[in-house]
Amino acid sequence: MADSNTGELRRSLGLFDAVTIGLGSMVGAGIFAALGPAARAAGSGLLLGLAVAAVVAYCNATSSARLAARYPASGGTYVYGRERLGEFWGYLAGWGFVVGKTASCAAMALTIGAYAWPSHAHPVAVAAVVGLTAVNYAGVRKSAWLTRVIVSLVLAVLAAVVVAAFASGAAGAEPLRPAGTTLGGVVQAAGLLFFAFAGYARIATLGEEVRDPARTIPRAIPIALAIALAVYALVAVAALAVLGPRRLGEATAPLVDTVRAAGTGWLVPVVQVGAAVAALGSLLALILGVSRTTLAMARDHHLPHALSAVHPRFGVPHRAELLIGLVVAILAATADLRDAIGFSSFAVLIYYAVANASAFTLGRDEGRPHPAIPSIGLMGCVLLAFAMPLSSVASGLAVLALGVAAYAIRRARAK
């Protein structure tokens, strides 16, 4: 049993479950939606952007894995920044993660509604949030089981898209050549595609619920990242080869357009269902990660301490999960946040910048990665963050400033 106020979470996740949760976060709605905006930014340089995003993601994954093995507690970079750099940097990372990923939760919920029942997108989005919050409330093992089913279905749909594209006469090699691509476009595309890679951190934020975390977490993160990268590369090449950069950049549902152009229109409903299921998996994992970071921040009184309660029967941070579910449901019912991907990417990249800076301080006896890895990761995160559209950068800076002000006020009152 877990203490209802200060108890620890149950360590019930093995390597397979941890990898599955990471894949559920990465191989989700991003692959169905991010290719279009990335192609608009970089054209045929989309694949170069994917490579840049993968390099930054690898550095972040390595830094996060080493830190998670050292600090296997819920909260991810919030904990790492606090322990390695000081309370403020941990708080800033946690604040950026909670706010950015809460917006992502609402966007994923609206994606479910848009694919499942476009004329009633908002009610469907709210129902999805309520349902997944209930699943998470019942325990993380049930969440891992549902994620496993979702990942299997999504991978099957993506495999069908790739086979249909390459088997058709519509695919060609010419669209894959990066002609007329600008460096700025490639970097912005990398930042947009990074949004889809960011799920590996969900494994680290579940550190307190993983069995043998010193061994499991460093293995689970790279495995999940490698599988996701392979899937993304295959799907991106297939879509680009069939549609070309211009049509891909104009597509609102890139994979639906891909199967239509490939002459396999019968796959359209399959892809639509796959997209809705993928968004469901992303939303499930996002709610898990945000609630665990909220739990960690509440334990340290950066958020109301009542949110640190752990359910005595289910062993989950039930108050944090209910609050996050309520906020996301309200956002999904009242706003269209699909344009918040840029804002979310900005906040999450700042989060990972803190992770890389934290990893740089590890000693050799603490599992420090090669110094080049956190250095490249830190510089890459900052570069990609500020390459986002100006509106996303401005809103991201404003929200971070709000969090800093709240931190300063709390510290002043504590003196």
> For position 221, what pLDDT does the model report?
78
Burial state string for 73-92 with b = 16 or more CB within 10 A and e = fewer than 16: bbbbbbbbbbbbbeeebbbb
Full pLDDT tens readout for the chain, 415 residues: 344 444 555 666 778 877 877 777 677 677 877 788 888 888 888 889 998 998 998 899 889 888 887 887 767 788 899 999 999 999 999 899 888 888 888 878 887 887 777 778 889 989 999 988 888 777 655 556 766 787 788 889 999 999 999 998 888 877 787 777 788 889 999 998 887 776 666 666 566 677 777 777 778 878 888 888 889 999 999 999 999 888 888 887 788 889 999 999 899 999 988 888 888 877 877 787 788 778 878 888 888 888 888 888 777 788 888 999 998 998 888 866 556 677 888 998 999 999 999 999 999 888 888 999 999 999 999 999 999 888 889 988 999 999 999 899 988 887 7
> For position 3, what pLDDT does the model report?
44
> For position 139, what pLDDT does the model report?
63
Residue type, 266: W
> For position 10, what pLDDT does the model report?
63
Residue 62 makes CB contacts below 8 A (sequence gap 6+) with: 221, 222, 359, 369, 373, 377
Rounded CA separation 320/326 (Å): 10
Q: Looking at the domain that runs over 15-414, which CATH code has it been given? A: 1.20.1740.10
- Please state the domain extents for the chain: 15-414
> For position 4, what pLDDT does the model report?
46
89 φ, ψ (degrees, to nearest 5): -70, -35
> For position 219, what pLDDT does the model report?
81
CA distances from 281 to 21, 151, 276, 332, 386 (A): 9, 7, 9, 16, 29
Report the candidate in 200, 199, 158 with the shortest Cα–Cα distance to residue 35: 158
